[in-house]
Amino acid sequence: MGYRTIMVGTDGSDTAVLAVRAVTRLAKRFGAVVHIVCAHGDGVDEQSAIEVLRYARESVRAEGVETKTHMRVGPAPAAIKELAARHGVDLIVVGNVGMGKARRFKLGGIAEQVAHEAPCDVLIIHTRDMDVAPDGGYRHLLVGTDGSATASEAARKGFELAEILGADVTLVHVGDPLVGAVVLEEAAKSRPGAAAVRGETLEGDPAGRIVEVAGRGEIDLVVVGNKGLAGTRRYILGSVPAKVAHESPVDVLIAKTVGRTVDDLAPGHGGLVDAGGRRLAVYRAEDGTITALSPRCQHMGCTVDWNDADRTWDCPCHGSRYDWEGRVIKGPAKRDLDPASLPPT
Amino acid sequence: MGYQWWVFLHIAGAFVFLVAHGVSMGVSLQLRQERDPRRIMALLDVSSTSISGLYVGLVLLLTGGVVAGFVGDWWGQGWIWVALGTLVVVMILMYALASNYYKRLRLIVGAMAEGSEAVSEERLAELLSGPRPVILAVTGFGGLLFILYLMLFKPF
């Protein structure tokens, strides 16, 4: 799991203190550097910001974790996003205050604004009930999946996290029960490591069912992909990660599975990435070698997607399959995927 | 190009369309009897292969039909609009009925062909013997028969 640089925003509030504590615990596990951000000018004066940062830095350092602090003038979400991008942060941690059901369509909360546009994974710490907050020590993870490539990427991150934390994983598929059985089996088969996994297929509203399972008292972290979290669609229909983030009774990890770049691909994995304004099918080999392809299926022009279990590019329309180099291994497509070149960095 | 040639193109397109799509219809009905995942996958692949022919036929029959409508001055009559509307409605209906069903079937039998036991043979048999292929065949064939009636009898 690549959480080497973790960022947390704090304003000295109870919720922020809890987020800092959770970050400290996770950073110790990952051997990560913690960046602490405090923005002033919006309810926090400069002197208070200095005090808040000093207190947070000392509490993190007391646990032997390397720490860097940043103070910015202006809104906290913008500061967190800007600093996260600049320092190559791979996990942002925020408290969930201000993300209740009634505020679903507002852009008020720091957590909400960060979650919608973060350049990396976002961990939302549930701080409504301070007494039962797990404080970063997750033992039971719930991973929501619909079998799509983006959900598989979220599942992969969930499995890797479970492996590091020694946690077990409950895979939840909401939808058709037969499809769910296959999806859960494939997701469990493709897991790295040996985390204990159990599956559950349910029918109904995906976000509602995930929240329901998370609320049974066994789960302490929900992992979902960020598909549907950005863009205008979320204002009209909402999205599974947004609804889960708002309604979950436990912490939520929103894995960045959409809007990824080549840098987000782990070795041995592929995915659709944004590269210079184009969408490309890119595979990163274990040795770091990059293979970039056009994602357009040679049969009818549908967009292929990465199949992590079989390491193939699969066309969802008529079942054509290509290996990681884009060579046809199953029709009806007859020609290999076109090679593509990545823009210079 | 004269009117007869546009009608010729229209009918030739309809032939291509029917031949190509007939493969899918035959496959969908045959699948109801099949239980071997590998054979089912092979049949689904045959069906997928015929899809490109379907679109070629559709383009030809639409081009021929629309232009023949102008050359023959048919667009002032109701039957041609109803025929075009029926084609569009049937296409939307069949896409809605077929795409998710076959995507689902392909995923399940694909996994079973590779040794998955997530779905039992009984559940697969239930899925295969369901009424969806018959509904699809009736919708498609019924729609085409109605269009043929409109073209030949021009009732309004």
Give B86-97 pLDDT, tens digit per residue: 999 999 999 999
* A185–B127 CB contact, under 8 Å: no
Q: Which of B45, B103, B119 sits opposite A178 (nearest CB)?
A: B119
The CA distance from B57 to B155, in Å, is: 26
**In this complex, is the C-beta atom of A284 within 8 Å of any C-beta atom belonging to chain B?**
no
pLDDT value, residue A105: 38
The CA distance from B36 to B109, in Å, is: 9
pLDDT value, residue A43: 66
Q: Which of B48, B110, B119 sits opposite A181 (nearest CB)?
A: B119
Whether residue B122 contacts residue B130, with contact meaning beta carbons closer than 8 Å, is answered with no
Closest residue by Cα to residue B79 from B155, B148, B4, B28: B155
pLDDT value, residue B60: 95
Closest residue by Cα to residue B140 from B51, B43, B18, B40: B18
The answer for residues whose C-beta is within 8 angstroms of residue A60's C-beta and 6 or more apart is A20, A23, A24, A27, A34, A36, A67
Rounded to a whole number, what is the distance in Å from the CA of B7 to chain A's nearest CA? 28
Which residue segment(s) compose the domain that B78 sits in? 3-153
Q: Which amino acid is at A255?
A: A
Reading chain A (345 residues) residue by residue, the pLDDT tens digits are 568 899 988 887 777 788 888 888 888 888 889 999 888 776 667 788 888 888 888 888 888 888 988 888 888 788 888 888 888 888 898 877 654 444 443 434 677 777 777 788 888 887 755 554 555 578 899 988 887 777 777 888 888 888 888 888 898 988 888 888 888 888 777 776 667 888 888 888 888 889 899 888 788 889 988 776 555 444 444 578 888 888 888 888 888 877 777 777 778 888 888 877 788 888 888 888 888 888 888 888 888 888 877 788 988 788 788 988 889 888 788 888 888 887 776
Closest residue by Cα to residue A272 from A227, A216, A221: A227
Residue with tokens 């925020």: A94
Q: How confident is the model at residue B18 (pLDDT cuts 50, 70, 90)?
A: very high
Asked if the bond preceding A316 is cis, omega within 30° of 0, the reply is no
pLDDT value, residue A305: 84
* B48–A176 CB contact, under 8 Å: no
Return the axis-axis angle of helices A14-30 and A149-165, rounded to nearest 10°: 80
Which residues 129-148 of B have a C-beta within 8 angstroms of A? none
pLDDT value, residue A99: 46
* B48–A299 CB contact, under 8 Å: yes
Whether residue A338 contacts residue A299, with contact meaning beta carbons closer than 8 Å, is answered with no
**In this complex, is the C-beta atom of B123 within 8 Å of any C-beta atom belonging to chain A?**
yes
Whether residue B119 contacts residue A178, with contact meaning beta carbons closer than 8 Å, is answered with yes
* Confidence (pTM): 0.75
**How many domains in chain B?**
1
The CA distance from A345 to A189, in Å, is: 36
Backbone angles phi, psi at A323, to 5 degrees: -75, 180
The CA distance from A104 to A116, in Å, is: 12
Q: Which amino acid is at A256?
A: K
The CA distance from A187 to A153, in Å, is: 10
Asked whether the ipTM of the predicted complex exceeds the cut of 0.85, the reply is no
The side-by-side arrangement of strands in the sheet containing A5-9 is: A67-73, A33-40, A5-9, A91-95, A121-125, A251-255, A221-225, A140-144, A168-174, A197-202
What DSSP letter does each residue of B62-98 carry, written as one string?
Answer: HHHHHHHHHHTT-TTSHHHHHHHHHHHHHHHHHHHHH
* B116–A185 CB contact, under 8 Å: yes
Among residues of chain B, what percentage have pLDDT more than 70? 99
SS3 content of chain A, % helix, strand, coil (to 5): 30, 25, 40
| Best to test chain A binding among B45, B56, B117, B121 (most A CBs inside 10 Å) | B45
**In this complex, is the C-beta atom of A321 within 8 Å of any C-beta atom belonging to chain B?**
no
Which residues 119-178 of A have a C-beta within 8 angstroms of B? 147, 176, 178
Rounded to a whole number, what is the distance in Å from the CA of A176 to chain B's nearest CA? 9
